Chain A
Amino acid sequence: MATLFVMQGRDKGKRFDLRGDDITVGRDSSNRIQLNDSEVSRRHAEVRRTPEGIVLADLASSNGTFVNLEKIDQRLLKNGDRVQIGRTLFLFTDADDRSSVNLAHDIDIVGLGNVEGSRILKSVSHESGSQLFAPPDPAESPWLARARSNLQVMYRTALAVSHTLDIDQLLSRILDLIFEWVEADRGCIMLVDHETEELAPTASRNRKGVRVDGKLSISRTILDYVMQHKEGVLTSDARDDQRWNPEGSIVKLGVREAICVPMQGRYGIVGVIYIDTYTPPGQILQQRAPNKFSEEHLKLMVAIGHQAALAVEDTSYYSAMVQAERLAAMGQTIATLSHHIKNILQGIRGGSYLIEEGLKEEDNEVVRRGWRIVDKNQERISNLVMDMLTFSKDREPELVPADLNETLADVVELMQARAVEAQVQLVFQRRDDLPQFQFDPDLLHKVVLNVVTNAMNACEKREAARVEVSVEYEPGERFVHIVVADNGEGIAAEDLTRIFSVFESKKGSRGTGLGLPVSQKIMREHGGDIRVESTPAVGSRFYLELPTGVSAAVNQTLLP
Chain B
Amino acid sequence: MTRSPSVLIVEPSADEREVLRTVLERRGLRIWEAAGVERGLELARKHHPEVIVLDADANRSGNESIQAEFDATSTDQHSSLIVLGRISRDRSLPAGQVIAKPYHFGPLIHKIEQLAGKAA
A→B interface (CB under 8 Å): 342-343, 345-347, 349-351, 353-354, 357, 361, 366, 369-370, 373, 376-377, 508-509
Given A346-B101, A346-B103, A347-B13, A354 and B60 touching (CB < 8 A)? no
* Stretch of B16-24, B38-46, B66-74 contacting A (4+ beta carbons < 8 Å): B16-24
Contact A373 B105 (CB under 8 A): no
B107 to chain A, nearest CB (A): 11
Contacts of A351 in B (CB 8 A): 15, 19
Contact A342 B102 (CB under 8 A): yes
- Chain B 1-31 near chain A by CB (<8 Å), digits 1 or 0: 0000000000011011011001100100000
Given A366-B22, A369-B18, A508-B60, A350 and B105 touching (CB < 8 A)? yes
Q: In whole angstroms, how far apart are the Cα atoms of A353 and B103 in the complex?
A: 12
Q: In whole angstroms, how far apart are the Cα atoms of A350 and B13 in the complex?
A: 11
Given A350-B16, A377-B15, A508-B57, A369 and B102 touching (CB < 8 A)? no
Q: In whole angstroms, how far apart are the Cα atoms of A370 and B105 in the complex?
A: 13
Contacts of A370 in B (CB 8 A): 19
Contact B23 A353 (CB under 8 A): yes
Contact A354 B57 (CB under 8 A): no
Tell me whether B91 is interfacial, beta carbon within 8 Å.
no
Q: In whole angstroms, how far apart are the Cα atoms of A346 and B103 in the complex?
A: 7
Contact A346 B102 (CB under 8 A): yes
Contacts of B18 in A (CB 8 A): 350, 369, 373
Given A373-B15, A508-B12, A349 and B105 touching (CB < 8 A)? yes
Contact B57 A357 (CB under 8 A): no
Contacts of A345 in B (CB 8 A): 102
Contacts of B57 in A (CB 8 A): 343, 508-509
B97 to chain A, nearest CB (A): 18
A367 to chain B, nearest CB (A): 11
Q: In whole angstroms, how far apart are the Cα atoms of A372 and B16 in the complex?
A: 12
Tell me whether B104 is interfacial, beta carbon within 8 Å.
yes
Tell me whether B106 is interfacial, beta carbon within 8 Å.
yes
Could you give 23 example pairs across A and B, Cβ below 8 Å?
A: A342-B101, A343-B13, A343-B57, A345-B102, A346-B13, A346-B16, A346-B102, A347-B16, A350-B15, A350-B19, A351-B19, A353-B19, A353-B105, A354-B19, A354-B22, A354-B23, A357-B22, A361-B26, A366-B22, A369-B18, A370-B19, A373-B19, A509-B13
Contact B106 A353 (CB under 8 A): yes
Q: In whole angstroms, how far apart are the Cα atoms of A33 and B107 in the complex?
A: 38
Give the A-B pair count, Cβ closer than 8 A: 54
A341 to chain B, nearest CB (A): 9
Given A369-B18, A373-B15, A509-B12, A349 and B102 touching (CB < 8 A)? yes
For the residues of A in contact with B, the DSSP-based class is helix
Per CB-CB distance, the 9 closest pairs between chain A and chain B, nearest first, are A350-B19, A353-B105, A347-B15, A346-B102, A373-B15, A345-B102, A509-B12, A508-B12, A509-B13
Chain A, Cβ-Cβ closest to B84: A346
Q: In whole angstroms, how far apart are the Cα atoms of A95 and B77 in the complex?
A: 46
Contact A349 B22 (CB under 8 A): no
Q: In whole angstroms, how far apart are the Cα atoms of A509 and B84 in the complex?
A: 14
Q: In whole angstroms, how far apart are the Cα atoms of A350 and B108 in the complex?
A: 11
- Chain B 94-115 near chain A by CB (<8 Å), digits 1 or 0: 0000000111111000000000
Given A373-B15, A377-B15, A349 and B104 touching (CB < 8 A)? yes
Chain A, Cβ-Cβ closest to B100: A342
Residues of chain B from 49 to 72 with CB closer than 8 A to chain A in the complex: 57, 60
Chain A, Cβ-Cβ closest to B19: A350
Chain A, Cβ-Cβ closest to B106: A353
Contact A357 B23 (CB under 8 A): yes
Starting from the known contacts A342-B101, A346-B103, A361-B26, 18 additional A-B residue pairs (CB-CB under 8 Å) come to: A345-B102, A346-B13, A346-B15, A347-B13, A347-B15, A349-B104, A350-B15, A353-B19, A353-B23, A354-B22, A357-B22, A357-B26, A366-B26, A369-B18, A369-B22, A370-B19, A373-B19, A509-B57
Contacts of A347 in B (CB 8 A): 13, 15-16
Contacts of B15 in A (CB 8 A): 346-347, 350-351, 373, 376-377
Q: In whole angstroms, how far apart are the Cα atoms of A508 and B60 in the complex?
A: 7
Chain A, Cβ-Cβ closest to B17: A350
A492 to chain B, nearest CB (A): 14
Q: In whole angstroms, how far apart are the Cα atoms of A376 and B101 in the complex?
A: 19
Q: In whole angstroms, how far apart are the Cα atoms of A283 and B106 in the complex?
A: 88
> Which of B12, B15, B19, B57 gathers the greatest number of chain A CB atoms within 10 Å?
B15
Chain A, Cβ-Cβ closest to B58: A508
Q: In whole angstroms, how far apart are the Cα atoms of A508 and B85 in the complex?
A: 15
Q: In whole angstroms, how far apart are the Cα atoms of A554 and B12 in the complex?
A: 49
Q: In whole angstroms, how far apart are the Cα atoms of A347 and B60 in the complex?
A: 19
Q: In whole angstroms, how far apart are the Cα atoms of A353 and B19 in the complex?
A: 8
Chain B, Cβ-Cβ closest to A345: B102
Chain A, Cβ-Cβ closest to B20: A350
B111 to chain A, nearest CB (A): 14
Contacts of B13 in A (CB 8 A): 343, 346-347, 509
Q: In whole angstroms, how far apart are the Cα atoms of A509 and B55 in the complex?
A: 11
A344 to chain B, nearest CB (A): 9
B63 to chain A, nearest CB (A): 14
Chain B, Cβ-Cβ closest to A347: B15
Chain B, Cβ-Cβ closest to A358: B22
Q: In whole angstroms, how far apart are the Cα atoms of A354 and B106 in the complex?
A: 10
Q: In whole angstroms, how far apart are the Cα atoms of A354 and B104 in the complex?
A: 12
A489 to chain B, nearest CB (A): 14
B65 to chain A, nearest CB (A): 19
A32 to chain B, nearest CB (A): 13
A507 to chain B, nearest CB (A): 10
A43 to chain B, nearest CB (A): 21
